[in-house]
Chain A
């Protein structure tokens, strides 16, 4: 990523969201700065996906506000958000099953360029869009598969296609909900590198991702937010988060601390992170 700027591009203030009695977000506030790669971590049910859904306007929070640059975008909905310059990919594969890779990327580009209401121009003759779709497919390693229907792609490629279509919108901010879930462990690093080089090429300002793989989180992020039971437990750089383990443990006591961190980082905890990663 580019060196960190200071201007906040996306800001959340005091977001609360509950489903009946269950509180998914309990006063979440943070800012994302231009040029930042932010990872959101936390155990299942910590509110990560709810947070992404609120940030992308799919869900309206009970209270609290979301700002993009200086503009309030709380609950304005995904379509208007995409037009403003915020795109997302999904935890579960979310594709147009009948579309070929080419069509999939083209429809995103047409939408971005406002060509969706061109009623009579044959889309096949739009060489600009075709070339862009081709470049994008190659960037995501789908160059050889451009004529394959999305439903016939392997799981990892479906995921990449979903992400690639979000990139096709050339957003300023991109939110990725577990971009490497369903990707084989050996390919996860490759996927992350593709994402980073693609965002550099396409001028994407900030990336926010939800990710479970702690190796990826700690080696790629500029900043990490740890969510626990709808609250921000920690918000800092990877190094400080590691140090923070002790702080949290001191405050909460050893037993509960162990519980939280084993929820967060899997059974292994942070201290033996390096050793265990080689086993995989």
Chain B
């Protein structure tokens, strides 16, 4: 048994990635670590977006709304209400994401496919207009400043900015991602997760098995709202400033792009997508000004050639390798017997 575990490549990759994330800020350049910090926020958000897309089969083009909601919550609480404890901010933002998710979701889950997508897009743009127009309240297009939050009750305002972000804050966000991943893993592996996948694959049949399709979709929407808001919270202190482009439809598109790039039908695919997107964007932007052109071509390539994303490609390579392995193992005992 132990041998099998040792050979499980997924476990090794998981451990390697965890180790990489743990030591990177200590080893690598500040700049790369800063990009990783961005990744952590998006990773948490994508766990939620992909519960809706990959597991429940509903593609939202407006989830940047929840991301912005989380980020603006940090700005509001820290600058206007003097709430500085990160735990309290996270909790309040998640509650806000859940409540807004419940309200918007109740309308959106009445529709599916393109109608669902367009409706979420509409809500996202509504929120964009709100942030833009209520200048007095939200700072309009200039946005709002984000004050440095307390972590676990510690006031770290004396620490230099990069040292704070790449030190305590990085590990705080990493721990948040670990907790969020674990909770999402449990959700996906629960009976609820199985029901969502049943709905995704065949809603009519799920209905006949007594599953209340619309209600379950609503639950998924609510959970994803909370997760995406939490992702926005984690990113806000990194940005230092929030503005309405966080909820603009292209940002929702970015979330979808990340998921497609990484692969929507694996658990870690969306995270891989966030990682690749952030680092690719950085590289391509520094090389040519037409980075959107390159990304557009990439998106087309993925959809046509590798709809399962990078994780899908890796997965199928693994399967081939495993099949070859098992073929070899099956051949071995046979040759022994014949000998």
Contact = CB atoms under 8 A, between A and B. Distances in A.
Interface of A: 56, 77-79, 82-83, 87-88, 90, 94-99, 103, 106-108, 110-112, 115-124, 126, 129, 162, 165-166, 168-169
A123 B205 contact: no
Contacts of B187: 119-120
A106 B190 CA distance: 11
Contact of B208 (A88, A103, A129): A88
A177 to B, nearest CB: 11
Given A79-B213, A107-B195, 10 more contacts: A79-B211, A87-B208, A88-B208, A90-B205, A96-B198, A119-B186, A120-B186, A120-B190, A123-B191, A126-B191
A119 B190 contact: yes
Q: Which 6 A-B pairs have the closest CB atoms?
A: A82-B210, A110-B191, A96-B201, A111-B210, A78-B208, A116-B195
Interface in B173-229: 183, 186-187, 189-195, 197-198, 201-202, 204-213, 216, 219, 223
7 contacts: A96-B202, A97-B201, A106-B191, A107-B211, A112-B210, A116-B191, A165-B205
Contacts of B213: 79
Contacts of B204: 78, 94
B207 A79 contact: yes
Contact of B190 (A103, A121, A162): A121
Given A96-B201, A96-B202, A98-B197, A119 B209 contact: no
A103 B196 CA distance: 12
Contacts of B210: 79, 82-83, 108, 111-112, 169
Which of B186, B204, B208, B209 has the most chain A CB atoms inside 10 A of its CB? B208
Nearest to B195: A116
Nearest to B202: A96
A80 to B, nearest CB: 8
Contact of B191 (A88, A115, A166): A115
Interface of B: 183, 186-187, 189-195, 197-198, 201-202, 204-213, 216, 219, 223
Contacts of A97: 201-202
A22 B32 CA distance: 68
Contacts of A129: 191
Contacts of A112: 210
B216 A116 contact: yes
Contacts of B190: 118-123
A94 B194 CA distance: 17
Contacts of A169: 209-210
Contacts of B208: 56, 78-79, 82, 87-88, 94, 166
B196 to A, nearest CB: 9
B307 to A, nearest CB: 14
A79 B213 CA distance: 8
B202 A119 contact: no
A208 B202 CA distance: 24
Which of B194, B195, B197, B213 has the most chain A CB atoms inside 10 A of its CB? B194
Contacts of A168: 209
B201 A98 contact: yes
A103 B202 CA distance: 14
Contacts of B197: 96, 98-99
B207 A116 contact: no
A111 B211 contact: yes
A71 B277 CA distance: 57
A115 B195 CA distance: 10
Contact of B192 (A56, A82, A108, A119): A119
A56 B211 CA distance: 15
Which of A90, A117, A165 has the most chain B CB atoms inside 10 A of its CB? A117
A165 B192 contact: no
Nearest to A165: B209
A31 to B, nearest CB: 23
A250 B33 CA distance: 91
B77 to A, nearest CB: 27
A83 B213 CA distance: 13
Contacts of A123: 189-191, 193-194
Nearest to B185: A122
Which of B192, B197, B204 has the most chain A CB atoms inside 10 A of its CB? B192
Contact of A122 (B186, B198, B212, B216): B186
Nearest to B208: A78
A118 B212 CA distance: 14
Contacts of A107: 191, 194-195, 198, 206, 209, 211
Contacts of B198: 96, 99, 107
Contacts of A98: 197, 201
B191 A124 contact: no
B186 A103 contact: no
B202 A110 contact: no
B207 A94 contact: no
A120 to B, nearest CB: 5
A115 B206 CA distance: 14
A189 B112 CA distance: 41
Contacts of A90: 205
B26 to A, nearest CB: 34
Contacts of B195: 107, 110-111, 116
B192 A118 contact: yes
B189 A122 contact: yes
A215 to B, nearest CB: 29
